[in-house]
């Protein structure tokens, strides 16, 4: 079976409604190291896929430079999450050089993108406060952000999986993608450029959909 055939067989068995508190506690109890993340729902998707696909795929996949891809069988695959009610159709993928090297080795590179209908925190940020408490307080990132501005994003309290996109890129496909420049790290070194994918403009790219 091909990578896509295996994904089409297994991914439809994923649970589709993810309550924020239940999902975070599930990851915490399993000692999954990303349970503290603000965008918990994207990491919960990775957590679920890791458990489901571990018998069929290598986890993680190959590593190029500082980028380790999430899965590998015949080719490398990455897992991404996207909220369908966001104002953008753009999905940030991995860095340019790592994806090019992956395709150079295997001929293709894969992206598994979950599309979710999300619910946001109430105006009192009850969910955010709960998450901060079980983490043991605010992270260094949150404290640094508060020094810069008092504005913070509303957290997602639940997510419902509606669709998964299975996309295979060739070298020619990469030429049509946008590139996001990331500026420099705190040490002054440039951060790697990343590819941007418009999920509403996938003409000519190998695409399969799993709908829930």
Q: What is the token pair recorded at 152?
A: 């913070």
Amino acid 139: pLDDT = 59
The predicted model scores a pTM of: 0.88
Amino acid 36: pLDDT = 94
Q: What is the token pair recorded at 209?
A: 């959909």
Distance CA 129, CA 28 (A): 17
Q: Mean pLDDT across the chain, nearest whole number?
A: 90
Interval 89-111 mean pLDDT: 95
Tell me the pLDDT tens digit for each residue of 46-60.
Answer: 999 999 999 999 999
Among 64, 158, 49, residue whose Cα is nearest residue 103:
64
Amino acid 86: pLDDT = 75
Interval 63-76 mean pLDDT: 95
The share of the chain scoring above pLDDT 70, in percent, equals: 88
Reduced to 3 states (helix: H, G, I; strand: E, B; else coil), residue 13 is helix
Tell me the pLDDT tens digit for each residue of 165-185.
Answer: 999 999 999 998 999 886 655
Of the two residues 183 and 131, the one the predictor is more confident about is: 131
Amino acid 74: pLDDT = 98
CB contact at 8 A, 56 and 6: yes
Amino acid 87: pLDDT = 75
Distance CA 14, CA 7 (A): 11
Distance CA 43, CA 27 (A): 9
Amino acid 164: pLDDT = 98
Reduced to 3 states (helix: H, G, I; strand: E, B; else coil), residue 206 is strand
Question: Has residue 150 got a pLDDT over 60?
Answer: no
Distance CA 39, CA 87 (A): 17
Q: How confident is the model at residue 72 (pLDDT cuts 50, 70, 90)?
A: very high
Amino acid 123: pLDDT = 74
Question: Has residue 68 got a pLDDT over 90?
Answer: yes
Q: How confident is the model at residue 152 (pLDDT cuts 50, 70, 90)?
A: low
Amino acid 185: pLDDT = 57
Q: How confident is the model at residue 1 (pLDDT cuts 50, 70, 90)?
A: very high
Distance CA 195, CA 165 (A): 17
CB contact at 8 A, 211 and 162: yes
């Amino acid at each position: 079976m091909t990578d896509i055939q295996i994904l089409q067989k297994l991914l439809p068995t994923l649970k589709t409604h993810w309550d924020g508190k239940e999902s975070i506690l599930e990851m915490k109890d399993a000692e999954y190291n990303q349970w503290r993340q603000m965008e918990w729902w994207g990491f919960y998707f990775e957590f679920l896929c890791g458990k489901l696909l571990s018998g069929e795929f290598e986890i993680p996949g190959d590593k190029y430079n500082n980028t380790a891809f999430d899965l590998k069988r015949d080719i490398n695959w990455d897992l991404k999450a996207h909220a369908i009610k966001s104002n953008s159709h753009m999905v940030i993928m991995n860095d340019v050089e790592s994806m090019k090297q992956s395709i150079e080795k295997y001929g293709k590179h894969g992206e598994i993108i979950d599309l979710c209908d999300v619910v946001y925190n109430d105006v009192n940020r009850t969910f955010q406060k709960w998450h901060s408490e079980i983490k043991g307080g605010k992270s260094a990132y949150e404290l640094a952000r508060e020094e810069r501005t008092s504005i913070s994003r509303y957290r997602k309290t639940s997510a419902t999986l509606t669709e998964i996109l299975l996309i295979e890129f060739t070298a020619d496909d990469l030429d049509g993608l946008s590139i996001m420049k990331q500026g420099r790290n705190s040490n002054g070194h440039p951060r790697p450029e990343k590819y941007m994918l418009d999920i509403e403009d996938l003409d000519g790219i190998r695409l399969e959909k799993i709908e829930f």
